Amino acid sequence: MVQSILDAISLGGLYALAALGLGLVFGVMRLVNFAHGELITIAAYTLVLTVQFPLIVSILITVIVTSLVAFLMELTIYRRLRGVNPAIMLIASFGLSTVLQRVYELIFGALPKSAVVAPFLSGAFSIGGLSITISSVITVVLTVIILLAMGYLVERTSLGLQLRAAAADFKTARLLGVRANRLISAAFVLSGILASCVAFILVIQNPEVNPYYGLNITILALVGIVIGGISSLRGAALGGFIVGVILSALNTLLGNGRVYAYSWLFFAVLIILLVKPGGLLSKGNELERV
């Protein structure tokens, strides 16, 4: 029971991190960056392939590589699409996501690459007769730390203020002196860093990295930001968390019927959207055209 709750929280936290990465980018340029999953994938590959280095070095390389990919993604593709209909941007990001998947397949091969990253994090310990896996505790702790750090960054720093302002109203923010190019690049780099964090946690749980590694979590995080309310970062994180918790709870409760967990999840999503189309944290009915 304790393990189940811990699993639910850790999965929720993980999805919240992924949703936050998507939400940051959406906030500054109304882009649902589907290729975020491929940032997670490249981070996971880097972690697995640099396993011979000390953990800190490996993580550092991963963060740098992933942020660089995110930065270049914006510079080469999305910068040219700025101001285009959001639907087109979404489709373009699907395209980019496919490009990256195929490129990974070409470079790393279709078969999964795996390595045990941070072996001291696997295994279990027991408190009062309850067996608890170390990785779930670490995930919860890590997620909380990262979310707190992100919270500090977004709420207390100048960059965070600009990000929030841009998310609320990009045009007005620009008029008030927010530098668009710099801010958008910063958002992408941040989303790259978040993707590295997500990848680190994922790799501990499942070290088999294939070209489609980040796809599933991205879809679910995407669902999360929409039900949470895409126009605020808090909503995005909350939505991601909810999706993770629901999915984890379904997996525990459904027993043999767990193959249908996704059906129930999507069904819940449909209901939430019909009741609150703007997301759980939305106040009024805003019209957003995608």
Partner 1 sequence: MKFPGLTRFSLQNLFGPIAVLTILTFFLDRASSSLQLMTQLALCTFMMVLALQVFVGNSGVLSFGHGSFALLGSYVSGMLTAPVNIKSHALALNQLWHFLIPLKTNIYIALIISAVLSALVAGLTGILLMRLSGLASGIATFALLGVTYNIFFNNKQLGPGSQALPAVPTITNTYILLILILIAIFFVYLFNISRSGRSLRATREDPMAAPALGISIFKVRLIAFVFSGLLAGLSGGMYVHVAGTFQVQDYYLDFTFTTLSMLIVGGSASIWGALVGTILITGVGQILLMMEQHLPIFGVTIGIPLGSRAVIIAVTFVAMLLWRSSGITNGREFSLPRFKRS
Place of tokens 């980040």: 214
- Whole-angstrom distance, CA of residue 258 vs CA of residue 273: 23
Partners of 126 in the β-ladder: 131
- The answer to whether the Cα torsion of 236, 145, 37, 174 is positive or negative is positive
Instruction: List the one residue from 28, 140, 223, 238 that touches partner 1 (CB under 8 A).
Output: 223
- The answer to whether the Cα torsion of 219, 225, 227, 228 is positive or negative is positive
- Residue closest to 287 by CA, chosen among 278, 260, 279: 278
Instruction: List the one residue from 2, 53, 68, 94 that touches partner 1 (CB under 8 A).
Output: 94
Nearer to partner 1 (CB atom), residue 181 or residue 216: 216
Using rule CB under 8 A, residue 92 touches partner 1: yes
x-marked contacts with partner 1 along 36-75 as a string, rule CB under 8 A: ----------------------------------------
- Whole-angstrom distance, CA of residue 224 vs CA of residue 240: 4
User: How many chain residues interact with partner 1 (CB under 8 A)?
Assistant: 44
Residues sharing a CB contact under 8 Å with residue 279, sequence separation 6 or more, in sequence order: 225, 226, 227, 228, 229, 230, 231, 235, 239
Stretch in the footprint of partner 1 (CB under 8 A) among 8-16, 56-64, 90-98, 147-155: 90-98
Token couple for 120 = 């001291």
Instruction: List the one residue from 57, 72, 95, 145 that touches partner 1 (CB under 8 A).
Output: 95
Instruction: List the one residue from 48, 163, 222, 247 that touches partner 1 (CB under 8 A).
Output: 222
Between CA 120 and CA 194, with CA 5 as vertex, the angle to 5 degrees is 60
Nearer to partner 1 (CB atom), residue 90 or residue 115: 90
Using rule CB under 8 A, residue 80 touches partner 1: yes
Using rule CB under 8 A, residue 260 touches partner 1: yes
Nearer to partner 1 (CB atom), residue 197 or residue 223: 223
Instruction: List the one residue from 77, 115, 147, 159 that touches partner 1 (CB under 8 A).
Output: 77
- Whole-angstrom distance, CA of residue 203 vs CA of residue 205: 5
Nearer to partner 1 (CB atom), residue 26 or residue 200: 26
